[in-house]
Structure 1
């Protein structure tokens, strides 16, 4: 099977490629040399690197597309310029891919495209699944809604579209956890605000495995919540991380301090999102790490 992958050098992409060694991969990257260096442990000779989609008139040669490209959403404050980068890095790549899919006589059979649980916004402590329809004016929702709308233009009798509404991806060597680790290692970790906001999370291994599962499940389509079946409050997550690191857990970061430090993007830490992966479990996917305690113990052990 021939796959076209975008975002392959990112935190999720690097893990995903480890699970695709039996596939022929064409990887879209802005910097081929850096990508080769980043993936030198992963590339089994099955990866071809391209730095632009301009050389393609269609995507007839590909059986599937996995689209993970996008500016990291939590790395910087959401200035107007950064918001534009976040949007354009997602929307423009997706739009180009959709145009090429629709220009194909024999298009890819599946288009798997990124999104995020930010689509749902703050849902307080109410559990919900993919059937929840949301209309709001938050930036995170706006980014995801538009991103999904563009991707769904590729849907046809020949091409199914799967949308990855991703939670906080936990793994060693990158992602959100890398930023959280230091204060906890110093014994300064604790909940954010009152700690009662729900945090949808997923182990990096389950993230990659679930993408491959959608790739190989021919009847899978539409939005999927990529988060573990047992969401936890921020306080419980914080306690589990401190325990995995064998560190104390008694401090807290006040809500006002997070808002002061992060501005509008503080919603990523303060919104409560109790998303359930109903559709993933219904199609038979089994999580390796359904509980946060064992997930964090596994990650911390592998980081040593």
Structure 2
């Protein structure tokens, strides 16, 4: 697994380990334990014997899109941290003898693929949209092609916004909401493709195990909501008012290039998961937020 120390990766490692799997973590620094191996994706360096020993490869690597204010340098990092890791893994897999290749590559992608969909609901067959994150998603997913062309099953997890109090979309909102100084973003009419952390983890494991699932998979909850609806529900569960809207101009000052993405409406449905009869533990926002805020 690449990206095993991230917001999602640490929890997915725990899930796989609890299920009895042995997880080998790819790290860029000197290994600190027997389950770590070093690689250098920026230089396309990966020992092929590590991949040959694996039944499956999972790649969750990538710099956080909401961790810092965007400038041109950070945008280059967002792109390279995804494309370099994916390309290195896919090319290494393709270069192995057929008998030594892993059965599946589960690779991160994002609902940013779709760009701004407005009020139009989309599933996995929708074309790529426009904007920086859509462009990143295009080259990111294309980087998996060598493994796919070599006959390996490739799953592209178009992840939405996993909800957990310790990171992602939710963590930076908790303090202003608890202080009563939060509210909807911009108009609040933009759609928010949330998913509970439990359902994200289960969906990742589900796609890994299901040999009939390949290609893009929207990993989002089945009932998307608008930002205004999300804001009201979070305020209700925190027992705080949320009456101070954050104007689009203020977001642009605070977030730079990321502001436009934060205001993007992405109404995405989990078509593949629904057709595969995946069971959502938290099919609606209230239950997902309750789980996300619980100790």
- TM-score (norm: length of structure 1): 0.90
CA distance in 2, matches of 1:32, 1:219: 37
CA distance in 2, matches of 1:134, 1:170: 25
The runs of at least 4 aligned residues of structure 1 exceeding 4 Å deviation read none
Among 57, 62, 68, the alignment partner of 1:70 is 62
**Structure 1 residue 159 corresponds to structure 2 residue 145:** no
**Structure 1 residue 82 corresponds to structure 2 residue 103:** no
Q: Please show how residues 68-147 of structure 1 align to structure 2 within 5 Å.
A: 68-105=60-97, 106-136=100-130, 138-147=131-140
For the 8 Å contact 1:108–1:158, the answer to whether it is kept is no
For the 8 Å contact 2:128–2:138, the answer to whether it is kept is no
Unaligned stretches of 5+ in structure 2? none
**Structure 1 residue 247 corresponds to structure 2 residue 240:** yes
CA distance in 1, matches of 2:198, 2:90: 28
- Number of residue-to-residue matches in the alignment: 286
Among 170, 191, 202, the alignment partner of 2:184 is 191
Q: Please show how residues 128-277 of structure 1 align to structure 2 within 5 Å.
A: 128-136=122-130, 138-156=131-149, 158-277=151-270
Residue 13 (structure 1) aligns with: 9
Among 256, 267, 273, the alignment partner of 1:280 is 273
Residue 44 (structure 1) aligns with: none
Unaligned stretches of 5+ in structure 1? 37-46
CA distance in 2, matches of 1:57, 1:289: 39
CA distance in 1, matches of 2:206, 2:48: 29
- TM-score (norm: length of structure 2): 0.93
